[in-house]
Amino acid sequence: MANDSLNMAGRAALVIGGTTGIGRATALEFAAAGARVFVAGLGKDEGRSVEAEIRKTYKVDAEFLEADVRRETDVQAVMARAIQKFGRIHAAVNNAGTEQKFGPVHETTAEEFERVIGINLRGVWLGMKYEIPHMLANGGGAIVNTASMAGVEGIANVAVYTASKHGVVGLTKASALELARSNIRVNAVAPGPVDTGLLARMIAGKIDVSVIAESVPMGRISQPAEIAKGMVWLCSDAASYVTGHTLVIDGGATIG
C-alpha cells in the first residue's frame, strides 16, 4: 500500500452496528486497508454477508456476531468473542444507530425516547465501556463513535435523535480527555445525509430525498463509503495526533 500511515495490515478492527449502511461500508473499508474485522449488529443474514464479502474480496479474516447494543450482556459478549478471535483489538467503531419518528418534540412517546437514546447513546457508551479496558491493558488503540450533523446543530422534528447525537459528541470529548495520556484516541464522525435505510425511514412520507439533496451545498447526499473512509482514517496512524474531534462529513450542510 502506497500510504503506510493508512495501512492496517496486522491489526484488528471491531465494527459494532456493522451489518448495513455506514457500518457495513466501514467494515469493508477496514478490510481494504488490510485489517481483520469483527462485525457485530442486528441482522444475521446481513452480518454473514459482510463477513463473507470481506473474506472473499479482501482475503482477510472476519467474523460476525449478532448483538443488540441496548443489552449490556450482548456488548460484553461481542468484545469477549472479538478478543478470543483476534487476540487484540486495535480499532473500534461504535456505529449502531436508529432514526426517530418525524414530529414535534412534545409528541414523542416515552417508549420512542427510550429506544432512540438506548441505541444511539447508551449503545455507544456500552461499546466504549468494554473496548477501553481491553485497550488500556494492551497498549492503546483508537475508537470512533458515530454522531451526525444532528450532533453539531439542531434539527427540527427529530429532537430526541438530535439530543442522542449531541450526547455522542459530548461522550467522545470527555472520554478523549480521560484517555489522552493512555495512547487511546477517541473521535466521532458526524455525517450529513447518507444514502442509507436509516435516512429513507426517517423521511418516509415527510420529505423527498431530492429536496434534502438540494439543500446540501454540494447538491447531493453522500454514499456510505464516503463516511467509512473518514472512520478508517481516524483509526489509522495518519490521525495519530487527533483526539476528541468530531469529523463533520456533510457536503457543507452545516456551514450555511
Burial letters 228-254, b for 16+ CB under 10 A, else e:
bbbbbbbbbeebeebbbbbbbbbbebb
In a domain, 200, yes or no: no
Residue type, 205: G
N-to-C CA span, the chain? 37
Q: What is the pLDDT of residues 118-130, one digit of tens each?
A: 999 999 999 999 9
> Is 4 inside any structural domain?
no
In sequence order, what DSSP letters do the residues of 113-132 get, joined into one string? HHHHHIIIIIHHHHHHHHHH
Mean of pLDDT values over 198-209:
69
Within 10 Å of residue 117's Cβ, how many Cβ atoms? 18
If pLDDT is split at 50, 70 and 90, which confidence band does 143 have?
Answer: very high
Q: How far apart are CA 231 and CA 93, in angstroms?
A: 8
pLDDT score at 60: 97
Report which secondary-structure segment, H or E, holds 64: strand 62-66
Contacts of 18 (CB under 8 A, 6+ apart): 24, 26, 27, 37, 39, 40, 41, 47, 50, 64, 93, 95
Q: What percent of the chain has pLDDT over 90?
A: 87
The structural domain count of the chain equals 1
- Pairwise CA distance, residues 226 & 181, whole Å: 31
Place of cell 483476534: 86
Spatial contact of 149 and 97, defined as CB atoms under 8 Å apart: no
Dump pLDDT digits (tens) for 26-42.
999 999 999 999 999 99
d(CA 101, CA 24): 24
pLDDT of residue 161: 97
Structural domain including 47 reads 9-192+224-249
**What pLDDT digit, counting tens, does each position of 39-79 carry?**
999 999 999 999 999 999 999 999 999 999 999 999 999 99
CA distance 4 to 143: 20
Q: Which three cell numbers stand for residue 38?
A: 469483527
pLDDT at position 2: 55
Position 209 in a domain: no
The answer on pLDDT for 1 being more than 50 is no
Out of 58, 130, 161, 241, pick the active-site residue: 161
Can you tell me the mean pLDDT for 184-200? 87
Give the pLDDT mean for 11-35.
Answer: 97
Mean pLDDT of 221-235: 96
Give the pLDDT of residue 205. Answer: 66
Flag whether 63 is in a domain. yes
Sheet holding 12-16, edge to edge: 62-66, 36-41, 12-16, 91-94, 141-146, 184-191, 246-249
Please indicate, yes or no, if residue 199 is contained in any of the structural domains: no
| Cell numbers standing for residue 17 | 452496528
Q: CATH number of the domain at 116, please.
A: 3.40.50.720
- Cα–Cα distance between 228 and 189 in angstroms, integer? 9
> Does residue 73 fall inside a structural domain?
yes
C-beta neighbour count of 57 within 10 angstroms: 11
62 vs 151: CA distance, rounded Å: 31
161 is an active site residue: yes
Question: Does residue 55 belong to any structural domain of this protein?
Answer: yes
Is 168 part of any domain?
yes
CA dihedral 254, 144, 197, 80 (to 10 degrees): -160
Lowest mean pLDDT among 40-49, 197-206, 237-246: 197-206
